[in-house]
């Protein structure tokens, strides 16, 4: 019986994969699969544009109503990418180790993606300046508001090394959220924001679609099967936020390797690129694929994780495509 349930779950996840593949963009299915060793099918190419090679100054815009404990989880994840005190590194495999796969991507001058990501400043848009429903373009107006606000103090416009990360709370609806995407990245238009600068948006899916965007911490949405005997526990205690962490990682990796959507991606259609994290959605450990997350760790309470961060934090983060090994990879790989 348990085997049958697993099989049903597996079949369902196969059906879900075209959707998951489309996470950051409305991507067409293009014969990719997510098993390790699929390198012969992957046609990741460099299209001559820039990558984020200078140390990144990250600005978080908290949109809506946020629980401070949840904000701390996300801050600690960002801080774990390049910890401020290198003398006290996180346990391995760490979030820093995970980012080293992203650093393997270079631009045409041979510069690698930076290993330094600073959390430079934060802005709290707790008055929902653009309302409860945001179109894709409205995200740029959220950024503009954060740069021009009188109260609270505005963020700086940093067109050279800035990366703006808009995070929407669980009660905010965003165009395509939960249908085609869990997050996306793009660049701002000078007419709206005043400069061309890369940005990413990620939503809190806790109330709207944890079964899609907080996988594998929730029952896959639309599944007819009764819940499996045990859904994986979220390592920081909030399904929506723990799910967001992996989507944030996904978007930061892709923003860094394809900030102006003309650098690293697979597929022939630049309006629907398959990027370095799209290639590995749903894969968190060795042996993963086809609905199995792969070999990950369990904490003391049995919650799943694969990376360690600052302050003893644990996170579950999807793998990204390694351009040297030509396969999905993370520092918790067994080989």
Ligand X SMILES: *[C@@H]1O[C@H](CO)[C@@H](O)[C@H](O)[C@H]1NC(C)=O
Using CB under 6 A, list all residues that contact ligand X.
103-104, 106, 112, 323-324
Which is nearer to ligand X, 106 or 161 (by Cβ)?
Answer: 106
Nearest residue (CB) to ligand X, 46 versus 297: 46
CB of 104 or CB of 260, closer to ligand X: 104
Q: How far is the CB of 57 from ligand X (least distance, A)?
A: 20
Q: Closer to ligand X at the Cβ: 106 or 149?
A: 106
Asked if residue 307 lies in contact with residue 93, where contact means CB atoms within 8 angstroms, the answer is yes
Which two three-digit tokens encode residue 15? 């059906």
Q: Among residues 97 and 122, whose Cβ is nearest to ligand X?
A: 97
Residue with Cβ nearer ligand X (38 or 106): 106
Cβ pair 24, 280 in contact under 8 A: no
DSSP state letters, 204-234: --TTT-HHHHSTTSSPPTT--SPPPS-PPBP
Least distance to ligand X, CB of residue 45, Å: 14
Distance of closest approach, residue 106 Cβ to ligand X, in angstroms = 5
Nearer to ligand X, 104 or 192 (CB): 104
**What is the chain's Cα-based Rg?**
19
Q: How far is the CB of 190 from ligand X (least distance, A)?
A: 31
Shortest Cβ distance from residue 112 to ligand X (Å)?
A: 4
Nearer to ligand X, 104 or 195 (CB): 104
Q: For tokens 């944890």, what's the residue?
A: 210
**Least Å distance between CB 118 and ligand X?**
18
- Closer CB to ligand X, 3 or 109, in the complex: 109
**CA nearest to 131, candidates 142, 140, 123, 122:** 142
Cis peptide before 152 (omega within 30 of 0): yes
For residue 100, the minimal CB distance to ligand X (Å) is: 6
Torsion angle (degrees, nearest 10) of CA 76, 79, 85, 91? 60
CA 166 to chain centre: 12
Least spacing, CB of residue 144 vs ligand X, in Å: 35
Structure tokens at 67: 């629980």
- 217: Cα separation from own chain's centroid: 15
DSSP E strand boundaries for the chain: 44-46, 56-63, 117-125, 133-134, 162-168, 173-174, 183-187, 198-203, 264-266, 297-298, 304-305, 307-308, 314-315, 320-322, 327-329
Residues 6+ away with beta carbon under 8 Å from 272:
25, 26, 27, 28
Minimum Å distance from CB 324 to ligand X? 5
The residues pairing with 163 across neighbouring beta strands, listed in sequence order, are 58
């Amino acid at each position: 019986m348990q085997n049958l349930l697993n099989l049903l779950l597996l079949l369902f996840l196969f059906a879900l994969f075209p959707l998951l593949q489309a996470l950051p963009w409305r991507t067409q299915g293009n014969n990719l699969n997510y098993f390790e060793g699929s390198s012969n099918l992957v046609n990741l190419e460099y299209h001559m544009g820039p990558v984020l090679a200078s140390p990144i100054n990250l600005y978080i815009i908290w949109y809506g109503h946020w629980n401070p404990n949840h904000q701390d989880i996300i801050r600690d994840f960002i801080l774990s990418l390049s910890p401020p005190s290198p003398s006290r590194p996180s346990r391995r495999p760490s979030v820093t180790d995970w980012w080293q796969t992203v650093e393997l991507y270079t631009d045409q001058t041979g510069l690698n993606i930076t290993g330094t990501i600073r959390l430079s400043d934060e802005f709290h848009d707790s008055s929902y300046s653009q309302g409860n429903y945001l179109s894709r373009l409205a995200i740029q107006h959220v950024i503009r508001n954060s740069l021009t606000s009188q109260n609270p103090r505005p963020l700086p416009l940093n067109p050279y090394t800035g990366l703006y990360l808009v995070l929407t709370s669980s009660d905010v609806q965003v165009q395509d959220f939960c249908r085609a995407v869990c997050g996306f990245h793009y660049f701002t238009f000078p007419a709206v924001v005043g400069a061309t600068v890369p940005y990413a948006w990620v939503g809190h899916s806790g109330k709207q679609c944890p079964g899609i965007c907080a996988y594998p911490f929730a029952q896959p949405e639309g599944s007819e099967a009764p819940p499996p005997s045990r859904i994986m526990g979220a390592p920081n205690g909030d399904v929506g936020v723990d799910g967001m962490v992996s989507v944030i990682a996904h978007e930061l990796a892709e923003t860094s390797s394809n900030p102006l959507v003309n650098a690293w991606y697979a597929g022939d259609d630049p309006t629907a690129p398959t990027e370095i994290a799209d290639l590995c959605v749903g894969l968190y450990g060795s042996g993963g694929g086809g609905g199995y997350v792969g070999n990950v760790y369990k904490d003391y309470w049995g919650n799943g994780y694969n990376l360690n961060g600052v302050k003893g934090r644990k996170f579950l983060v999807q793998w990204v495509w390694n351009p040297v090994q030509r396969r999905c990879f993370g520092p918790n790989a067994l080989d």
